[in-house]
Structure 1
Amino acid sequence: MKKVKCYAPATVANVVCGYDILGFAIENPGDQVIVSFNHTHTTRITKIEGDEGKLPLDVKKNVVGHVVNLFLEKVKSRQGVDIELYKKMPLNSGLGSSAASSVAALVAINELFENPLTKGELLPLAMEGERLASGNAHADNVAPSLLGGLVLIRSYEPLDVIKLPFIKDLFVVSVHPDINVPTGEARKILKQQIPLQKAIEQWGNVAGLVSGFCTGDMDLVGRSMKDVIIEPIRSMLIPFFCEMKEIALENKAIGFGISGSGPSVFALCKNKDQADEISDRLYHLLNRHQIKSESQVTKMNNKGALII
């Protein structure tokens, strides 16, 4: 095999109350990466499309080159590799843009080498792509993009990742306002210490959210989609967040929150008609305030990254 193409899906990290420990994949958008052998004994990024010229071709500064080099070190290969990256989602969107690129590159290069590593072995390499992109090797985007579905990171040291059951009939509305909220900056504003009472409330919500997904209890999922630690701070970076949340909940969304570090927001809905209505209303709200936006109505993706 001389060339492999892989698709990795976008993700919704945190799922409101599960900061850095919960995330799920959605069916679209996603990134595509093509890898092929070359004869130079070096890794090269030969093409990037869809980034408006913002991403570097330097393999040490771009997550796809970085994680491919980590893979080559892991399998002890000096084989030269060419990489093509096709961005299908906005940068700094809060939808796991860098994670999808890293995952697609790793799954593609693993396939090109006839799969010497398991997905569990690829995951820490993908997390290093996140470290390069945002300064923190979190897994709540890369794990669901790689594995699909709803994922819980029970522990980072040692790494313990569990794929959870989820409610298959749910629809997801994702809305990306055309504003810039870099992940690294969104992390810097967070408090490093919190009151015990708020921590207890948050733990209860995380437990309730996981329980609701595992048992199919949508009311419990909705009651548990409450964040008393991260959202009150990060929502200040997203114009009209409170108004968007009010619209979503008034139109019977199960829950609403920030996707990852933002600025994208998301709503969980019981059916497509409800999701379409909320998507339209959020678009019109932002449009009235001269804020461009992109929205998707999709379902959760249970497959994760795929060779195409």
Structure 2
Amino acid sequence: MTIKVFAPASIGNVSVGFDVLGMAVTPVGDQLLGDIVEISAAVTDVSTLSLSGEFANKLPGDPKDNIVWHCLELFNKELINSTKSVQPVDLVLEKKMPVGSGLGSSACSVVAALVALNEYYQKPFNDSDLLFMMGKMEAQISGSLHYDNVAPCFLGGMQLMVTDTQVITRSLPTFDDYYWIMAYPGIEMSTKEARDALPKQYSRQDLISYGQTLATFIDACYRNDPKQAFANVVDVVAEPYRQSLLPKFIETKQYLLANGASAAGISGSGPTVFVVCENKEIAEQLSNYLTENYLQSPTGFVHICKADTQGARLVS
């Protein structure tokens, strides 16, 4: 038996919700933007991990240093804790996501691996169990526990992280008529470097502004008011301190907002830019601009996307 699981890209923070908001995205058409993990019974009596895909050469040379291998170790530990037997498996990570892109690259690998393992073992763990494991793996990578990429990557749609530690996340309504452009310039951005750029303390006014814009955004989502929602996609927490780290970002965002974009911002910690457009014509125009002006290496790309409402899923 061979199982393949795809996990989609995601926009961490969505500008307005630092560490508490994320949305999964998928390109319009048949192209997959995310990672795939394949699992089958081991050919030998030990588990293995092999790598493939466009961005596999950016991963550690030793598979046992790979996050997917760490997912296997964690999953096996949880199986043993629940008095279930562990079997050797062969894993293949097809790395279709650029590393350090701000598209939830590590989350894609984590989610695809843990969902594939759960499917292979005929679902010994429920969604909450898996989400807790995904959070542990993301914390191991970034040094802090946050679910804003793994939750939408796993469950799909737009997810709001809540204070209930048993629930973790709630789905928000998405504006399905809108298009989301994802523009990855082809350069890497260290999550640690991006976090180190943030101040240790924020002013009272920043705190008020953050709470007000996030609350207004959520309210507008539930009232199906896209204009008010996207008018509040404003980042007072990270973007002011990170924008200088991203070549061409400031002038690019100014152009996008002046030429029809409903909103624009840094996806996760960057360098990918996300752009919200109310129709495909605007999306195509701005996509062409980004292709010509924001890409900085041959590995860069621009995709016109929609919200991915499926999340992680089996593929053939």
TM-score range, shorter-chain basis? over 0.9
Counterpart contact for 2:174–2:221, Cα < 8 Å: yes
Counterpart position of 2:163: 155
Residue deviations 1:204-235 (CA, integer Å, cap 9, x gap): 11111112222211111122111122100111
RMSD: 1.8
CA drift of 1:42 comes to 4.1
Residue deviations 1:37-85 (CA, integer Å, cap 9, x gap): 2265643212333224221254542111111221121121331121101
2:50 is matched with which residue: 46, 67, 70? 46
TM-score by length of 1: 0.93
1:230 is matched with which residue: 238, 242, 245? 238
Alignment of 1:1-308 (within 5 A): 2-28=1-27, 29-38=33-42, 42-56=46-60, 58=62, 60-76=64-80, 77-155=85-163, 157=165, 160-286=168-294, 293-308=300-315
Task: Tell me, in whole angstroms, the C-alpha distance in 1 between the residues paired with 2:45 and 2:124.
Answer: 19
Deviates more, 1:255-264 or 1:124-133: 124-133
CA drift of 1:12 comes to 0.5
Task: Tell me, in whole angstroms, the C-alpha distance in 1 between the residues paired with 2:312 and 2:164.
Answer: 22
TM-score by length of 2: 0.91
CA drift of 1:136 comes to 2.4
Structure having the higher strand fraction is 1
Counterpart contact for 1:98–1:129, Cα < 8 Å: no
Counterpart contact for 1:67–1:128, Cα < 8 Å: no
Task: Tell me, in whole angstroms, the C-alpha distance in 2 between the residues paired with 1:275 and 1:66.
Answer: 39
Percent of aligned pairs sharing the same letter: 37
Counterpart position of 2:30: none
Task: Tell me, in whole angstroms, the C-alpha distance in 1 between the residues paired with 2:168 and 2:249.
Answer: 33
CA drift of 1:167 comes to 1.0
- SS of the counterpart of 1:7? strand
Counterpart contact for 1:64–1:129, Cα < 8 Å: no
Residue deviations 1:251-293 (CA, integer Å, cap 9, x gap): 2211100000000000111111111111111222236xx6553
- SS of the counterpart of 1:282? helix
Counterpart contact for 1:46–1:57, Cα < 8 Å: no
Residue deviations 1:158-196 (CA, integer Å, cap 9, x gap): 562111111111100010112221112211221121011
